[in-house]
Structure 1
Amino acid sequence: MGNWPFKSRSCSGPLILRHVSWARGGRAAAMLLAVGLVVGLALLLWAWRCCLGSAGSWTAKAGPRQPWGLVLWHRLVLWVLGLAVDLQRQHLEQVSKDGQQSQERLLLELLEGAGAAAPDLATFRKHYPLAQPGSDGAEPPASPAPRPGSWALLWSCFAAGSLLQGPVLYLDVLGRAYPEALSPRGTARFSWARSCALPAAAWPLPTLYCTPEGAGTVPSRAVALYLQLLFALRERALRALEAGLASELYDALDILRASWEGLAQDLARGRLSAQLELPEGTRHQLEGLLVPDTARAAELRAECARGWDGIARRLWPRLQVVVAAEPSGEQLYGEALRASVCQGLPFYCPFYGAAGALLGMNLWPEQPDSRYLLCPGWAFCEFLPVGPGAEGPPEAVLLAELREGQEYELVLTAKAGPLRCRVGEVLKVAGFHNHCPMVGPVRRLSQTLSVRGEGVPEERFYRSLRRAVAMWPGARLVDYVCAESGLLGASSGACAPHYQVFVELRGVRDLSEAQRYKLDQCLQEDFPVYRTFRFKGSIGPVRLHLVAAGAFRELRDTASPPGPMARVLRERRPLHFIQSRVIS
């Protein structure tokens, strides 16, 4: 049901496009038919508003409706989006061939305030100074796309370079790789946002989701994930699990582990637990969507009693894919999901973004390692070479100058900002599609441990930590964070600067001092500079602390706004929170 109503007849590669028949009749005929499409789509959107209400609230109206009505509407919207897909793919294919020209057009737009008549790079760099990491304005303000109204939605689906170009292409890529993933109400969404819990993909296709919007906008993140899990459990025929971050899906399925009896009771009664703290209006609205389902509640109890490995596919037998972002710092959650509750399911991360800007798309969901085509028409980017061969003061290069295999620090320039902003994200060029790079995020510079300039990046620290945990019999790493001792102030004592590491483990209750010292030994073996400082005594030994079960989920619940997990804490408030959960 969920696949596109029509597909390209010729598809020798992921971006090879067919020319739609109306384009052959000439530009005038194309424009005439485009006007007809606009009028027809306007009528469709008018019907959408009348029948389903505003985008995202369709669930509240869908209950009394016959199932065929929902399916018919869903396929109709898919057909409309299918028309837009060909145009958007054609546009993306063209700009990926002329990436430098697209960047020059953006550069000229940025220089309008400087009175430049041509995309002059020297004038741009003089007008927009390069911000140093950590300076004011060093990260452009996040600017989430505004939620479009009916006419804006209609136009954006077809307009080149629009806010909805990424979501429309994402739906196409997902539907091609997993044909049933676009079934009506076939996707469960796990995410928390107080203002709007709908992802961008829901704007053109809200009937894709079985989780009501109100479930993601409640005041508490933990309650939001519980509610979204409850509505997901109602739909046995789910095809996809989707989350803004891997940690959100991880925490939602951890709630399943901890609260499955309460979830089963809510399913059987068709009512929400009185223990959930909810605004009265929200509770009334959500309970109006529930009906008692004792059979599904019994199935949930039986599957949870069998254990947790592979439970996602046992609860939802038709599940095809997990869609979740795994930025730096979220690797641990993706690994834990693949190893246990989501065993056997492919994972797909569709977008790459930084500092609130959407920068690239993953058009190859079948690849095990996510790679993203940098879309040159979406943001003006520069790149500072890092790593081997990048000694000396960094000199920014442009998109056309990138080299395969090289790592670069990303620099973005926002039209609203006065600076070229170093966002602290390091990318590696994995290859090229046409003339545009395919990149993968490597690390966040802000997540580097360094008390004497030794520079231990987060992804390499994680490898050392996993190696140490493997030396602790029976232990399994659940979560961790680090902090530099200087953040503790006088409470860190009079010893040399050192790392404070907080871990949550399963399988062990405590560790001996010799076992804790294994982490320091692994760091010395993996980082010669660190070993030198330890030998001199200018860096003290790692101090390792065990925290109570669930401490890190509570930490994420208190984060505002929610974002990728910080592995190196830079603020005292989260550090004091996790210190208060230390048990050993």
Structure 2
Amino acid sequence: MLVALVALVAVVVAVVVAVVAAAALPALPALRHRLARPVLRRAAGRCRRRLELRGTEVRLSQERRLRRLLPAGTARGSEVFRERHPLGQSCPGGAPGGQVPPLHPWALLRSCWGTDPPLQGSLLYLDALHAAFPRALAPRRTALLSWAPGHPRAPAGWPLPTLYCTPVEAGTLPSRAAALRVQLLLALQERALHVLEAGLASELHDALAALHAGWPELAQDLALGRLSPQPGLPEAVRGRLQALLVPSAARAAELRAECARGPEGIVQRLWPQLEVVVVGTAHGAEQLYCDALRRADCRGLPLYCPFYRAAGALLGVNLWPEEPAPRFLLCPDWAFYEFLPCPAKEEPQTVLLDELWEGREYGLVLTAQPGEYRCRAGEVLRVAGFHKQCPVVEPVRRESQALSVRGESIPEDRFCQSLCRAVGMWPGARLVDYVCVESALLGTSSGAGAPHYEVFVELRGLRDLSEGQRYKLDQCLQEDFPIYKSFRFKGSIGPLRLHLVGAGAFARLREALGTPLPMPRVLREEKLLQLIQSTVIS
């Protein structure tokens, strides 16, 4: 006990000294990095050990977390809590990743014994990243592609800001396209990157699409050390960011040569020392972009998604950076979890974190904030295994993204499977992106027919679709969903209508969303519907 206390005091003193010294040396980022990194790694090691301990006493950890979330004087215990509070409605939403928290000595001191999920999560991320990729924590060797208009979004390694070569201001521009282009240009300037990080897989996907479409202009900017004017980039901001560029004809020539060779493996070829690509959200709706990145641009590189968030709360961490499929350890100190077994029963009874079965699917119910009790997160998880007593989960689908015009409810993940199967029947076609609309949103413009789905797709390798090809998707849905087939046979659901949109349509749609959220697969707003309709080419 005495040894542990002495070790804790040593960590506390080291944290104070390092952070105070770093704050006093704003002109010496390399020294700040050398002081802060070992201290943060020690704090991260302590977080990991505490997580391992909590994993052996999950029920006790959950009861402690619940007591901290309830008002003082409230009757204790999860059984009483569930009796007194009925299952709530949907959780309030939130963007993946909050604003950059203030970094000061007391925040790091709390990390030695506190349970603040964002700080704990980032420390665990730094620990896992360094263990798998020892060079990943080098100063200014991580580039960030992330858009959050008006205010910065916390990157994965925010407690160690000297990791990043990308200025915070570049990600807060009013235009998503401008922000990603500026960040891409600054990343291209740094040939010796070890980590490429994006807030969402779709942000990396769109930045690389901009690279393929505009590499001659980017190469010219690199050669001249210039940041070209563009919509959404205020002139004053452009001047400040341009001061970070240094003319490099050699780097520009390298960019031209590599881009001329095509997209396959372009990320590794442009940054030869790159070890890993980190994406803040890569599952669910973002999985389509991850698959595309692995096939072409990021071929040969691991894609690491470190965090699982739902309803704006950080819930889990991925401790296995080198595994291809992201799996998340639900941390018992970060929220009080309940689960509804799937398929749902008429009188649902929740089970707790230590009552899950491997291989089964559950709907997530959260108590993550004081006063917000037993909220349905709208997420379905599959239990992939256990780490000690803690479940390791894979997100499966979002319940809000199910298609239903007659109560048939086609889930997001299974619709995507049917769509990919149909696209596989179109010679030469590859699915880039898609979105769905229920005909009720179209109003009178949907015609006088029965309720139906309308699907908007972006394809590569195919510029038009025949009526026979369009029907393939409806046919696949009928084969995969007997209830849908029954409604189609009765005529109570009309035939699906498929539209082909032009290149870049979905990047503009994501900008119109206004916030950095995972791609919605079912549109619910008329303005977004009108935007995607305006891009239809067939």
TM-score tier after normalising by the smaller chain length: over 0.9
Deviation at 1:36, TM superposition (A): 5.1
Deviation at 1:118, TM superposition (A): 2.6
- Residue 139 of structure 1 is matched in structure 2 by 92
Out of 287, 297, 322, the position equivalent to 1:366 is 322
Deviation at 1:141, TM superposition (A): 5.9
- Residue 79 of structure 2 is matched in structure 1 by 121
Q: Does 1:105 align with 2:64?
A: yes
Residues of 2 paired with 1:370 and 1:347: CA distance?
A: 9
Out of 441, 453, 456, the position equivalent to 1:502 is 456
Kindly report which structure 2 residues correspond to 1:14-25, keeping only aligned pairs within 5 A, or say none: none
- Residue 4 of structure 1 is matched in structure 2 by none
Q: Do 2:488 and 2:495's aligned partners in 1 also have CA atoms closer than 8 Å? A: yes
Residues of 1 paired with 2:45 and 2:372: CA distance?
A: 37
Deviation at 1:274, TM superposition (A): 2.2
Q: Do 1:329 and 1:567's aligned partners in 2 also have CA atoms closer than 8 Å? A: yes
Deviation at 1:139, TM superposition (A): 3.0
Q: Per-residue CA shift, 1:309-344, capped at 9, x if unaligned?
A: 111111011111111121311111111111111111
Identity across aligned pairs (percent)? 60
Q: Do 2:304 and 2:321's aligned partners in 1 also have CA atoms closer than 8 Å? A: yes
Deviation at 1:30, TM superposition (A): 4.7
Residues of 2 paired with 1:418 and 1:82: CA distance?
A: 34
When normalised by structure 1's length, the TM-score is 0.88
SS in 2 for 1:466: helix
C-alpha spacing 1:480/1:141, structure 2 compared with 1 (3 Å)? closer
Q: Do 1:479 and 1:504's aligned partners in 2 also have CA atoms closer than 8 Å? A: yes
Q: Does 1:75 align with 2:34?
A: yes
Gaps of 5+ in 1: 1-25, 53-60, 62-68
Q: Does 1:383 align with 2:336?
A: no
C-alpha spacing 1:120/1:358, structure 2 compared with 1 (3 Å)? closer
Question: Residue 371 of structure 1 aligns to which amino acid in structure 2?
Answer: R
Out of 485, 504, 517, the position equivalent to 2:439 is 485
Q: Per-residue CA shift, 1:92-150, capped at 9, x if unaligned?
A: 0111111111111122233325x33432523x2354331245xxxx4366793761341
C-alpha spacing 1:576/1:362, structure 2 compared with 1 (3 Å)? same
C-alpha spacing 1:472/1:36, structure 2 compared with 1 (3 Å)? closer
Q: Do 2:18 and 2:39's aligned partners in 1 also have CA atoms closer than 8 Å? A: no
C-alpha spacing 1:51/1:83, structure 2 compared with 1 (3 Å)? same
Q: Do 1:153 and 1:203's aligned partners in 2 also have CA atoms closer than 8 Å? A: no
Residues of 2 paired with 1:468 and 1:331: CA distance?
A: 18
Deviation at 1:538, TM superposition (A): 1.0
Q: Per-residue CA shift, 1:202-235, capped at 9, x if unaligned?
A: 4321111111111111111111100110011011
SS in 1 for 2:351: coil
- Residue 93 of structure 1 is matched in structure 2 by 52
Question: Residue 76 of structure 2 aligns to which amino acid in structure 1?
Answer: A
- Residue 180 of structure 1 is matched in structure 2 by 135
Out of 275, 282, 295, the position equivalent to 1:339 is 295
Gaps of 5+ in 2: none
Q: Do 1:153 and 1:204's aligned partners in 2 also have CA atoms closer than 8 Å? A: no
Q: Do 1:128 and 1:418's aligned partners in 2 also have CA atoms closer than 8 Å? A: no
Per mean C-alpha deviation after superposition, the further-off stretch among 200-209 and 371-380 is 200-209
SS in 2 for 1:335: helix
Question: Residue 442 of structure 1 aligns to which amino acid in structure 2?
Answer: V
C-alpha spacing 1:141/1:72, structure 2 compared with 1 (3 Å)? closer
SS in 1 for 2:25: helix
Q: Does 1:316 align with 2:274?
A: no
- Residue 540 of structure 1 is matched in structure 2 by 494
SS in 2 for 1:495: coil
Q: Per-residue CA shift, 1:36-70, capped at 9, x if unaligned?
A: 54344333223322322xxxxxxxx5xxxxxxx65
Q: Does 1:50 align with 2:24?
A: yes
Question: Residue 326 of structure 2 aligns to which amino acid in structure 1?
Answer: S
Kindly report which structure 2 residues correspond to 1:223-372, keeping only aligned pairs within 5 A, or say none: 223-324=178-279, 325-372=281-328
Residues of 1 paired with 2:435 and 2:446: CA distance?
A: 17
Per mean C-alpha deviation after superposition, the further-off stretch among 252-261 and 451-460 is 451-460
Deviation at 1:509, TM superposition (A): 1.8
Question: Residue 522 of structure 1 aligns to which amino acid in structure 2?
Answer: C
Out of 122, 132, 146, the position equivalent to 1:191 is 146
What's the Cα RMSD here?
1.9
Question: Residue 98 of structure 1 aligns to which amino acid in structure 2?
Answer: E
Kindly report which structure 2 residues correspond to 1:140-179, keeping only aligned pairs within 5 A, or say none: 144=98, 147-162=101-116, 163-179=118-134
Residues of 2 paired with 1:82 and 1:285: CA distance?
A: 33
Residues of 1 paired with 2:350 and 2:99: CA distance?
A: 28
C-alpha spacing 1:287/1:334, structure 2 compared with 1 (3 Å)? same
Q: How many residues align?
A: 535
- Residue 65 of structure 1 is matched in structure 2 by none
When normalised by structure 2's length, the TM-score is 0.95
Out of 366, 371, 374, the position equivalent to 1:420 is 374
Deviation at 1:371, TM superposition (A): 1.1
- Residue 216 of structure 1 is matched in structure 2 by 171
Q: Do 2:30 and 2:139's aligned partners in 1 also have CA atoms closer than 8 Å? A: yes
Q: Do 2:15 and 2:105's aligned partners in 1 also have CA atoms closer than 8 Å? A: no
Deviation at 1:160, TM superposition (A): 3.4
Q: Do 1:268 and 1:294's aligned partners in 2 also have CA atoms closer than 8 Å? A: yes
Deviation at 1:526, TM superposition (A): 1.2
Out of 462, 474, 494, the position equivalent to 1:520 is 474
Q: Do 1:105 and 1:119's aligned partners in 2 also have CA atoms closer than 8 Å? A: no
C-alpha spacing 1:109/1:150, structure 2 compared with 1 (3 Å)? closer
C-alpha spacing 1:313/1:36, structure 2 compared with 1 (3 Å)? closer
Q: Do 2:100 and 2:152's aligned partners in 1 also have CA atoms closer than 8 Å? A: no
Q: Do 2:70 and 2:371's aligned partners in 1 also have CA atoms closer than 8 Å? A: no
Q: Do 2:178 and 2:230's aligned partners in 1 also have CA atoms closer than 8 Å? A: no
Question: Residue 168 of structure 2 aligns to which amino acid in structure 1?
Answer: E
Q: Per-residue CA shift, 1:187-210, capped at 9, x if unaligned?
A: 111111124435354432111111
